[in-house]
A and B are shown apart, each in its own frame.
Chain A
Amino acid sequence: MRDLTVKDAINEALRQSMEADENVVLFGEDIAGGQGRDEHPGAMDAWGGPFGVTKGLCTQFGRDRVRDTTIAEAGFFGAAIGAAMVGMRPVCELMYVDFAGVCFDQMMNQAAKMRYMFGGKQNVPMVMRTVVGAGFRAGAEHSQTLYSLFTHIPGLKVVAPYSAADAKGLLISAIRDDDPVVFLEHKRLYMRAEPVPEAAEAIPLGKGRRRRAGRDVTIVAVQRMNLFAEAAAETLAAEGIDVEIIDPRTYSPLDEEMILSSVGKTGRAVIVDESHPRCSLATDIAALIAEKGFAGLKAPVLKVTGPHAPVPFSPPMEDYYIPSPERIARRVREAMDFSKRS
């Protein structure tokens, strides 16, 4: 197996899915680039989106299947829904999740409710790919995660992969899935590489992954926070604290069993989520453990999140904003200390 970055793994998942099914069609702003300048040699595939994730796909599949759109998110997400209803499998790129406000009605009210509201007669097999995350000095309108915004809506599936192999396998599943799937890519993970299978192997939605086995504390880490949870776990190991790390990978559906069985074993849980603290994945998972895992708890369920503030631009403030390995380690020690006291 060769190493691929998250970015290239996503590109490969798209390419293989497009090769396998001619109804897989991409929409987005400058997902190819150079539209209107095709006679100029550098134009075709000049961009591949702002991060180059879709680069090369237009050269291979042409502008009919890799469709550069205008800055009309409500329009092209709506179009994706309609196209999906009559046989297309659109994969739409929202350049940054922060622009969700512009097209949210189409996703929240139309895509999400189509099946339910019309008596189960209509599927909407589409994917919204979008980019989340702080740490890019991109300021308040290009750095959010908004995981819980999508997870809150019944009818949408939500995927947020951490590693390259997961990104590939989960995107393949998302494209094959008959429901609308929101696929969230973290901009600070794009360049991280690991071995990725060459074949188009799907990873099922709704299955978490245990990234580290341990006895004392369960850390449930959302997307990029797996990286920091691992760093914290290393520090804590040196102190004799044995951490288990669970990466749920998908949030709707959520692998409740994996989380509950891990917490049942360790008796302590710390949830790490880069988003704001209120109504977040962290509070959602904490509530799950409180309701269904209370009997096995030796300490209160703790969380590490960003603050209840937008993401600031300036480096010292943004670094302070993002949960750090140190803050994660501190919370884990708190969980340990609590049960020593009692």
Chain B
Amino acid sequence: MPPESTVRWMYQCLFRIRFFEERIQELAREKAVPGYLHTYLGSEAIAVGVMAALRQDDWITSTYRSHGHAIAKNVDLCEIAAEIHGRRTGVCKGRGGSMHISDFDKGMLGAFGIVAAGPAIALGAALQERRKGSDRIAVSFFGDGAVHNGVFHEAAGLAKLWNVPLLLVCENNGYAEATATDWHLNTETVADMMAAYAMPARTVDGMDMFTVYEAASDAVQRMRQGGGPELIEFKSYRFSGQYEGDEQAYQPPAEVSKARARDPVLLARNTASQLGLGGAAIEALEAAAHRDVDDAFARAAEAAWPAPEDALEEVYVAYPKDRIAYA
């Protein structure tokens, strides 16, 4: 079990992600924010458990389903909300949007819209940290669908050859878009695929944040002490659509309710009393998370828009400005 302060942080983080994403669903229904929105509902325990096993200065890469990772990396909630609203105060100044929430000061190395872009980026970071002699590690989060893409395999192969501290975290949420994971995998599990690289790999329950924490901690400890890459496949379920607006017509109701019975928030609430967190303590944490989310979105909705010409900023580190602007 993690130390008591970490346990409290985990509950706070879990509730924040859940309430944040539920708010995103409301905003999507009201069409109150622009762009594509992919929520993390159903996989919250993975980001919470893995990040609890990391230090703030460890690196992660994320995907278009980035809100949960960013929240668990302690990125400012209001800066995330403002980014989703497209405001100047957003974590990417409104240039990225929901799919690209990334705070590099908090140890994020990007949130990519291209499936499987992340593992190779994290690989490079892991290599440089090892070269520097630091014990920082790099973690790449990606979905079950990403394991069919060549880049994932190229990164895995190099990571093993280079023996670098790269933790590949596969979030197996049962679907890649509208395609069922049990159809698209040729193997029983994603972990099975890693035999090809002689890479240690496990399949672990991704619904219980403490189980996630234990599995991630084990791997992280090995890597801090000079160990090489590992993969952990966490099994969760995508409660939301692929994106907000997806009707989920392909998800059988019986399957959904079975997964809902192991909702990560439900499981965490059930464990709380065993951890000395009584009903009142949990309620207080939930109320605080609700307040934090309300406050973040309230401030985000009031925040200033970027200036139109800000579109031309920061394309390069150095480049003649008039060559970027319109003629």
B35 to chain A, nearest CB (A): 4
Residues of the A chain whose Cβ atoms lie less than 8 Å from the Cβ of B184: 35-36, 70
**Contact, CB under 8 Å: A71 / B113:** no
Stretch in B96-104, B125-133, B219-227 with 4+ CB within 8 Å of A: B96-104
Pick the contact of B308 from A40, A70, A320 — CB < 8 Å?
Answer: A320
Stretch in B164-172, B191-199, B318-326 with 4+ CB within 8 Å of A: B318-326
- Check B32 for interface membership: any CB of A closer than 8 A: no
Stretch in A122-130, A203-211, A304-312 with 4+ CB within 8 Å of B: A304-312
Stretch in B141-149, B267-275, B277-285 with 4+ CB within 8 Å of A: B141-149
A98 to B131 CA separation, bound complex (whole angstroms): 33
Stretch in A42-50, A108-116, A212-220, A222-230 with 4+ CB within 8 Å of B: A42-50
**Contact, CB under 8 Å: B178 / A140:** no
A277 to B96 CA separation, bound complex (whole angstroms): 22
Known contacts A36-B184, A139-B96, A139-B97; is A46 also within 8 Å of B113 by CB?
no
**Contact, CB under 8 Å: B94 / A312:** yes
Identity of the chain A residue whose Cβ is nearest the Cβ of B112 in the assembled complex: A141
**Contact, CB under 8 Å: B35 / A43:** no
Within 8 A of A (CB), among B168-203: 176-184
| Candidate in B86, B145, B178, B311 with the most chain A CB atoms within 10 angstroms | B178
- Check B34 for interface membership: any CB of A closer than 8 A: yes
Identity of the chain B residue whose Cβ is nearest the Cβ of A48 in the assembled complex: B178
Identity of the chain A residue whose Cβ is nearest the Cβ of B85 in the assembled complex: A314
**Contact, CB under 8 Å: B145 / A314:** no
Contact mask A45-84 → B, CB, 8 Å, 1/0? 0110000000000000000000010111111000000000
**Contact, CB under 8 Å: A102 / B326:** no
| Candidate in B97, B252, B307, B311 with the most chain A CB atoms within 10 angstroms | B311
Known contacts A308-B324, A321-B311; is A141 also within 8 Å of B148 by CB?
no
Residues of the A chain whose Cβ atoms lie less than 8 Å from the Cβ of B145: 70-71
Residues of the A chain whose Cβ atoms lie less than 8 Å from the Cβ of B176: 70-71
- Check B1 for interface membership: any CB of A closer than 8 A: no
**Contact, CB under 8 Å: A139 / B100:** yes
- Check A197 for interface membership: any CB of B closer than 8 A: no
**Contact, CB under 8 Å: A140 / B311:** no
A169 to B325 CA separation, bound complex (whole angstroms): 37
A45 to B324 CA separation, bound complex (whole angstroms): 43
A101 to B114 CA separation, bound complex (whole angstroms): 10
- Check B327 for interface membership: any CB of A closer than 8 A: yes
B87 to chain A, nearest CB (A): 7
Known contacts A40-B250, A47-B178, A320-B311; is A140 also within 8 Å of B95 by CB?
yes
A30 to B148 CA separation, bound complex (whole angstroms): 15
Pick the contact of B305 from A30, A74, A314 — CB < 8 Å?
Answer: A314
Identity of the chain A residue whose Cβ is nearest the Cβ of B92 in the assembled complex: A313
Pick the contact of B113 from A75, A139, A321 — CB < 8 Å?
Answer: A139
Residues of the A chain whose Cβ atoms lie less than 8 Å from the Cβ of B4: none
Contact mask A117-159 → B, CB, 8 Å, 1/0? 0000000000000000000111111100000000000000000
Contact mask B68-96 → A, CB, 8 Å, 1/0? 00000000000000000011001010111
Pick the contact of A71 from B34, B94, B115, B308 — CB < 8 Å?
Answer: B115
Known contacts A307-B312, A318-B311; is A46 also within 8 Å of B150 by CB?
no
**Contact, CB under 8 Å: A102 / B177:** no
Q: Determine the main DSSP class of A at the interface with B.
A: loop
Contact mask A235-263 → B, CB, 8 Å, 1/0? 00000000000000000000000000000
**Contact, CB under 8 Å: B311 / A42:** no
**Contact, CB under 8 Å: A314 / B97:** yes
Known contacts A34-B249, A139-B35; is A313 also within 8 Å of B96 by CB?
yes
Identity of the chain B residue whose Cβ is nearest the Cβ of A305 in the assembled complex: B326
A310 to B249 CA separation, bound complex (whole angstroms): 35
Contact mask A312-331 → B, CB, 8 Å, 1/0? 11111111110000010000
Residues of the A chain whose Cβ atoms lie less than 8 Å from the Cβ of B36: 137-139, 142
| Candidate in A74, A308, A317 with the most chain B CB atoms within 10 angstroms | A317
Residues of the A chain whose Cβ atoms lie less than 8 Å from the Cβ of B302: none
A282 to B326 CA separation, bound complex (whole angstroms): 13
A134 to B107 CA separation, bound complex (whole angstroms): 30
Pick the contact of A40 from B35, B115, B252 — CB < 8 Å?
Answer: B252
Residues of the B chain whose Cβ atoms lie less than 8 Å from the Cβ of A277: 327
Residues of the B chain whose Cβ atoms lie less than 8 Å from the Cβ of A70: 145, 148, 176, 179, 184
Residues of the A chain whose Cβ atoms lie less than 8 Å from the Cβ of B92: 313
- Check B317 for interface membership: any CB of A closer than 8 A: no
Within 8 A of B (CB), among A15-35: 29-30, 33-35
Pick the contact of B86 from A310, A315, A327 — CB < 8 Å?
Answer: A315
**Contact, CB under 8 Å: B100 / A310:** no
- Check B295 for interface membership: any CB of A closer than 8 A: no
**Contact, CB under 8 Å: A314 / B95:** yes
Known contacts A72-B149, A313-B86, A320-B309; is A137 also within 8 Å of B35 by CB?
yes
Within 8 A of B (CB), among A278-314: 303, 305, 307-310, 312-314
Identity of the chain A residue whose Cβ is nearest the Cβ of B148 in the assembled complex: A70
**Contact, CB under 8 Å: A138 / B35:** yes
**Contact, CB under 8 Å: A71 / B148:** yes
- Check A37 for interface membership: any CB of B closer than 8 A: yes
Pick the contact of B307 from A34, A73, A137, A316 — CB < 8 Å?
Answer: A316
Pick the contact of B94 from A36, A72, A314 — CB < 8 Å?
Answer: A314
- Check B310 for interface membership: any CB of A closer than 8 A: yes
Residues of the B chain whose Cβ atoms lie less than 8 Å from the Cβ of A35: 178-180, 183-184
- Check B261 for interface membership: any CB of A closer than 8 A: no
**Contact, CB under 8 Å: B148 / A72:** yes
**Contact, CB under 8 Å: A142 / B113:** yes
Residues of the B chain whose Cβ atoms lie less than 8 Å from the Cβ of A101: 114
11 A-B residue pairs with CB within 8 Å: A29-B179, A35-B183, A46-B178, A46-B249, A137-B35, A139-B97, A312-B95, A313-B97, A316-B308, A317-B95, A320-B311
Give me the 6 closest cross-chain CB pairs, A-B, nearest first.
A36-B183, A36-B180, A313-B97, A42-B249, A314-B94, A320-B308
